[in-house]
Structure 1
Amino acid sequence: MPEYEDLQETYPGAGTFKLGHDAESCTAQINLVRRGTKRALCAPLADFEDDPQSMPVEGRTDIIAHWNNTPALVIKTVKVQQIRYCDVNTNMAHSDLGRDEFVAWRKATKAAIKLDHKFDPEMMLVFEFFQLVEDLDGRQIEPRS
């Protein structure tokens, strides 16, 4: 029987979350993080109102999961910034989208926000800049019960 690693022992206090709104977008974003082109996450501030513990915190380590909830990556938050959608600059958008297409970022982010919120160009966003700590591909991770 193989030995399994408990990620909560390796990364105490790490939260787990998924990227995107479906399996395809989740996989695409995980691949961008793996390649080093996606270095930030962006979400409406309103997403954290009901669960303030999920708000990113500088220095915290978290686990990004695949759509099926298996761990994929470990990241460490290096900077958190609250900013209005209309004030996001090209460098921020590039860090989130994983490529240098500001108009595409605006369009994709607006569409994603509209899935769960009423869009307002002056709405507050939370930008979480991170570094990749570990790619968990191939690791023997303890299954969650």
Structure 2
Amino acid sequence: MNNETEDLQDTYPGAGTFKFGDSAELCQHLIALVRQGKKTATCAALSDFDGEPEAMPVAGRCDIAANWDGTPALVIRTVEVTQVRYCDVTEEMALCEGENDTLLGWRKDHKAYFKRGGHFDPEMMLVFEHFELVEDLAGREL
């Protein structure tokens, strides 16, 4: 374990580490949206947690969003976790993700995202997480 992770575990005990998106470009774009205050939610397929239930977001817990290379980028605190079918995501929920201006745009982009991951069904269950930015680690002396 490197010193950065050890230090962050001291500051944020129990924090897990994850990456936004499924590519370096998307990851950095989503981190930028969080930094700008535009992205305050994210979602994943419920089935993604089958092999590692400890990775499931938990309200009140802080987690570390990593850059694509694995270096820590942000610390977020989960505010609310909801399980919802893809087809039942509301426009309000979709807009909190900060990636689209409409529910239709969110559906189009997320359908493509889930298809790239090999699992899309309009009735698939999602883990929808609202969060707040706790610390931007850019420039932090670790």
Instruction: Assess same fold via TM > 0.5.
Output: yes
TM-score range, shorter chain: over 0.9
How does the TM-score come out when normalised to structure 2?
A: 0.93
Percent identity over the alignment is 58
Q: Which residue of 2 aligns with 1:107?
A: 108
Determine if contact 1:84/1:124 at 8 Å carries over to the other structure. yes
Q: Which runs of 4+ in 1 moved over 3 A?
A: none
The equivalences for 1:40-51 within 5 A come to: 40-51=41-52
Structure 1: state its 5+ residue gaps.
none
* Distance apart, 1:103 and its partner CA: 1.3
Q: Which residue of 2 aligns with 1:53?
A: 54
* Distance apart, 1:65 and its partner CA: 0.5
The equivalences for 1:11-26 within 5 A come to: 11-26=12-27
- Cα RMSD of the aligned pairs, angstroms, is 1.5
Determine if contact 1:37/1:99 at 8 Å carries over to the other structure. no
Determine if contact 1:18/1:65 at 8 Å carries over to the other structure. yes
Structure 2: state its 5+ residue gaps.
none
Which protein has the larger Cα radius of gyration, Structure 1 or Structure 2? 1
* Distance apart, 1:101 and its partner CA: 2.0
Total equivalences in the alignment: 139
Moved more, 18-27 or 98-107: 98-107
* Distance apart, 1:120 and its partner CA: 1.1
Determine if contact 1:39/1:98 at 8 Å carries over to the other structure. no
* Distance apart, 1:113 and its partner CA: 0.7
How does the TM-score come out when normalised to structure 1?
A: 0.91
The equivalences for 1:1-145 within 5 A come to: 6-141=7-142
* Distance apart, 1:117 and its partner CA: 3.1
- CA deviations on 1:69-123 (whole Å, 9 max, x unpaired) are 1111000000000001111100100111444221111011011111223321111
- What secondary structure is seen at the aligned counterpart in 2 of 1:131? strand
C-alpha distance in 1, partners of 2:89/2:35? 24
Determine if contact 2:99/2:106 at 8 Å carries over to the other structure. no
